Structure 1
Amino acid sequence: MTSTRLRFTKMHGAGNDFIVLDGISQDLSKITKAQWQQLAHRQFGVGADQILLVEKPTVPNAEFRYRIFNSDGGEVEQCGNGSRCFVRFVREKGLTKNSTVLVQVAHTILSLTENDDGQVTVNMGAPIFDAEKIPFAPSHLNTKPEGDDTLYELPLLNRSVWISVVSMGNPHAVQVVEDVNKAFVAEDGPQIENHTSFPKRVNAGFMEIVNPHEIKLRVFERGSGETLACGTGACAAVVAGIRRGLLSSPVLVHTRGGDLSIDWQGQSQKESPVMMTGPAQTVFEGEVTLDV
């Protein structure tokens, strides 16, 4: 049996909770998938939706590299709420004095800014609609236009749902529901996540329109299940709503863990980035020994 002792910080962004690890001052290269699972386990570990790694960048023009592991141990491309916690962490730890930090993620460089009021604004980059890049295989699905968007009919076990599909660095399938509290999140979420139309699985969003500048949102996240908030999910939902003609920027997103503000000017500007502002909170710090 091998064991690894790690220093960690527990954080959350609107209830979406994270274990943040400094991979610059401690070696994380030998941590196994089983150990990530153990660390994220809510009964036998610290417990978290995702684990965030702070590392040295491997590309120019970035101050840090940012990696994300879901509670199932799988590495994913992006996490919006985690991005806000990331910049709060590196500033609290004295790893940078910059209020705006450029961070390397899987496919791009993010700009993260801690504001004077303690809120954090993240430039999430432009949304991706190209099916191959999402990735998404829609050839066998029924479609219908709505506004500037194309909706896809996704067959499930007991029903079919109409979804918008967009990537915010990770794939999202967003549907509009009448009442988010009555949405079939637990039933439909796993089916959508693992649907054959999504080769790398997908995050399933359930969006209730309150008014053109306000929504309620629940997200069943790929590899984590339903979380209290999902930053990329909030961005994807707002983008989908704007393209469908249902929303106008900026949009206040109510999640079960807190509120996020999303601004996207994509109606008038191609390649316009999505800007997300929300909270980031440190909960506690500690050390843990992982045994496998």
Structure 2
Amino acid sequence: MIPFVKAHACGNDFLVIETKHVSADRQRETAIRLCQRNTGIGADGVEYLEWTGDRAGKIRLFNADGSIAELSGNGTRCVAAWMAHEKGLQHRDTILLETDAGPRECQIIEREGSGYQIASRMGVPKISPRQVNLKGQQIEGIAVSIGNPHFVVFVQDTSFLVAGRSWQEVGHDLCFHPDFPQQTNVEFVHVVRADEIEFRIYERGVGPTTSSGTGTCASAVAAIAHRGGARHLLVRAQGGEQRVEWDGSTEVLLTGPAHLIAQGEAF
């Protein structure tokens, strides 16, 4: 039996499983099997956790398709929520998680029942404008690294259409485009006003999702750097709201919710 915890951050759902319960050579297969929506538990990915201290751990994320992602902002927050629950952590307590993209510090802002508000230090982003030739059309975007790759495309309104095509279709084509040999996360961003944006995401290894922590950061960073966005941004996705603070040069701070859903055992 495999003990697990299920959690979500703005609808982006994850299973948290301690590494001692699944050997390294079975982690990929287990993630694919358990993430299935109809025949498994259902999730966007599995965060495998190794505790390294009362407030510290090492995590590795397997997407629903079995690929390994360097980092998930929402997944990291879900793990932090579970660790906070287990250790009884409260306001201002911090958790340090080592990811494949480096260490990420999470601070508990608030706890309400099984839900937490958590602020995460997400590292210093790398950004550059980029063009992608998609079926004969040049797509203008911003390449952003938050420890994992993103391609941000600005759209005119909340239909999120790109050249008359749905964001889901264009997101798929961009994610698997030859210009991105390791694939990429794709965000479609509508600027509502200087201090607020809304976005949709086609997530590498998953497909369309309701939210993304690193996608939230990438969208905000691109808006701040290239659309005159405020340094404190409200970022809305289908699954809910998160907040990003970035001064244009140093570390990105991401604040958002994480909710524990269930605890159980899987075969």
TM over 0.5: yes
CA positional deviation for 1:158: 6.2
Residues 157-166 or 8-17, more deviating = 157-166
| 1: CA distance, partners of 2:139 / 2:28 | 33
| 2: CA distance, partners of 1:175 / 1:151 | 10
Q: Quick check: 2:31–2:45 contact (8 Å CA) kept in 1?
A: no
| 1: CA distance, partners of 2:243 / 2:101 | 24
| 2: CA distance, partners of 1:63 / 1:36 | 23
The aligned counterpart of 1:72 is: 65
2:46 aligned to 28, 48, 51, which one?
A: 51
Say whether 1:127 aligns with 2:125.
Answer: yes
Q: Quick check: 1:216–1:254 contact (8 Å CA) kept in 2?
A: yes
The aligned counterpart of 2:206 is: 224
The aligned counterpart of 2:93 is: 99
Higher strand residue share = 2
2:196 aligned to 203, 214, 217, which one?
A: 214
1:164 aligned to 112, 129, 142, which one?
A: 142
Q: Tell me which structure has the larger Cα radius of gyration.
A: 1
Say whether 1:34 aligns with 2:32.
Answer: no
Q: Quick check: 1:102–1:109 contact (8 Å CA) kept in 2?
A: yes
CA positional deviation for 1:32: 4.5
| 2: CA distance, partners of 1:71 / 1:179 | 30
Go from structure 1 to structure 2 and tell me whether the alpha carbon gap of 1:280 and 1:112 turns closer, same or farther (over 3 Å shift).
Answer: same
After superposition, where does 1:142-291 map in structure 2 within 5 Å? 150-157=128-135, 159-183=137-161, 184-266=166-248, 270=249, 272-289=250-267
Q: TM-score, normalised by structure 2?
A: 0.90
Structure 2 unmatched ranges of 5 or more:
none
Q: What is the identity percentage for the equivalent residue pairs of Structure 1 and Structure 2?
A: 31
Pairwise CA RMSD of aligned residues? 2.0
The aligned counterpart of 1:15 is: 11
- Tell me the SS of whatever aligns to 2:26: coil
Go from structure 1 to structure 2 and tell me whether the alpha carbon gap of 1:217 and 1:188 turns closer, same or farther (over 3 Å shift).
Answer: same
Q: Quick check: 2:160–2:188 contact (8 Å CA) kept in 1?
A: no
CA positional deviation for 1:196: 1.4
| 2: CA distance, partners of 1:28 / 1:235 | 32
| 2: CA distance, partners of 1:207 / 1:161 | 14
1:82 aligned to 63, 72, 75, which one?
A: 75
Q: Quick check: 2:195–2:233 contact (8 Å CA) kept in 1?
A: yes
Go from structure 1 to structure 2 and tell me whether the alpha carbon gap of 1:94 and 1:241 turns closer, same or farther (over 3 Å shift).
Answer: same
Q: TM-score, normalised by structure 1?
A: 0.83
User: What is the identity, as a one-letter code, of the residue corresponding to 2:7?
Assistant: M
User: What is the identity, as a one-letter code, of the residue corresponding to 1:286?
Assistant: G
| 1: CA distance, partners of 2:68 / 2:160 | 31
Higher helix residue share = 2
| 1: CA distance, partners of 2:101 / 2:233 | 26
| 2: CA distance, partners of 1:127 / 1:256 | 24
| 1: CA distance, partners of 2:180 / 2:27 | 26
Q: Quick check: 2:160–2:190 contact (8 Å CA) kept in 1?
A: no
